[in-house]
Amino acid sequence: MATLSGKNVLVIGGSSGIGYATAAGALAQGAHVTIASRSEEKLRAAQASLPGKVEARALDVADSASVEAFFNAAPTYDHIVVSGAAFKFGTVRDQNIDDAFAAMNVKFWGAYRVARKARVAADGSFVFVSGFLSRRPKPNMVLVGAINAALETLAQGLALEMAPIRFNVVSPGIIDTPTRAAMPAEARKAMLENVAKSLPVKRVGLAEDCADQILLMLRNTFMTGSVVYIDGGGLLV
C-alpha cells in the first residue's frame, strides 16, 4: 500500500471533529498537512493543538469566490479530504427554504466546487464525508439524507470522469464530535447513550474511527468509487 509520508494532504474541515482526527492521523503518517475551514480562530486553535506542524488557511466551501481564491494560491495536492460542512435540520414542510438551499450549498456544492477547482496529482485522491442518512432516511433529516446520497453519486461519477484520480466516500453513523456542541449537555449525553445501546457494537463512533478509514482510502491505490459505512453496524438494525 502507498504511504502518506511526504505527501501534501489538504483536510477541509480539519479544525474540528472527523477532519481534525484525519489531520492528526495524516501528520502521524508523515504527510505535509494543510487544514482549512471558515473560522481563523478555530484554525489557530487546531494548529496549536495538532501534534505537529500544519499549515492553516481560511476557506468557505459554500462560497465560489472563496474556493477559487483558495485554489488559485494553492499547490498541487496529493490528497484532499472534504469533511467541512455545517447546516440546520428540519422537516421539508417547516424548514425555511433558504436554510434548505444553504445545506445543499455547503455539503454537496461545496465538494463539487472543490473537485472543480483543486489541482490534484494524477496518482492522488479525494475523500468526501457523507453520512448514514443516505441509506437510513429519518423524519426531520430528509434533506440531509438526499444530500449525502447525491454526494456519494458525485464521487462515483468523478471517479470515472477524473480518473486516474481516485474518489472515495466515508459515510459515518453517529459520531461524537463537536458538531453537537450546541445541544444541552444532558440531552446530548442521553441521546448518545441511547444510540450506543441500539448499535451492535454498543458504543457511538469516535472521530478517529472515521479518520482511520479516510487515511486507508488515501493510501489504497486500488480503491475508487467506494462508499464505506463507519456506523457501528447501524445499517443492520
Ligand X SMILES: NC(=O)c1ccc[n+]([C@@H]2O[C@H](COP(=O)([O-])OP(=O)(O)OC[C@H]3O[C@@H](n4cnc5c(N)ncnc54)[C@H](OP(=O)(O)O)[C@@H]3O)[C@@H](O)[C@H]2O)c1
113 binds ligand X (CB under 6 A): no
8-12 and 166-172 beta bridge pairing: unpaired
* Residue 229, beta-bridge partner list: 171
Of the candidate residues 8, 15, 22, 224, the single one contacting ligand X (CB under 6 A): 15
Of the candidate residues 45, 69, 86, 162, the single one contacting ligand X (CB under 6 A): 86
Q: Which part of the chain contacts ligand X (CB under 6 A), choosing from 13-21, 88-96, 211-219, 220-228?
A: 13-21
- Identify each DSSP E strand in 20-179 by its residue range: 32-37, 54-58, 77-82, 120-129, 166-172
Q: Which part of the chain contacts ligand X (CB under 6 A), choosing from 77-85, 112-120, 193-201, 216-224?
A: 77-85
Return d(Cα 128, Cα 37) in angstroms, integer: 15
Of the candidate residues 4, 9, 10, 18, the single one contacting ligand X (CB under 6 A): 18
178 binds ligand X (CB under 6 A): yes
Return d(Cα 177, Cα 108) in angstroms, integer: 21
Buried-state track 200-210, b at ≥16 Cβ within 10 A, e below 16 = eeeebbbbebb
26 binds ligand X (CB under 6 A): no
19 binds ligand X (CB under 6 A): yes
If binding means CB under 6 A, how many residues of this protein chain bind ligand X? 29
Of the candidate residues 25, 124, 131, 145, the single one contacting ligand X (CB under 6 A): 131
